[in-house]
Amino acid sequence: ERIQAVETKLEGRIQEVETKLEGRIENLRQEVKAEINTAFNKAMLLFTAIGAVLALLTLFR
């Protein structure tokens, strides 16, 4: 009976830890998505600026 009680307690604890880990992983995933999005937007702005500069250079040749 005591072993059964300990097993039940352990299972509960393991479940808690799994739930916490899943939450943390999801938060990290969201953060990484946001970082990638920001980097992508910066890259797009940079390429747009380069394109604009090249267009101006070809106009004023």
- pLDDT of 14 reads 98
Number of domains the chain is built from: 1
Task: Return d(Cα 59, Cα 45) in angstroms, integer.
Answer: 21
* Residues across the chain: 61
User: Tokens 């830890």 sit at which residue?
Assistant: 17
Per-residue pLDDT of the chain (61 residues), as tens digits, is 899 999 999 999 999 999 999 999 999 999 999 999 999 999 999 999 999 999 999 999 8
Q: What is the pLDDT of residue 54?
A: 98
Domain that holds residue 40: 1-60
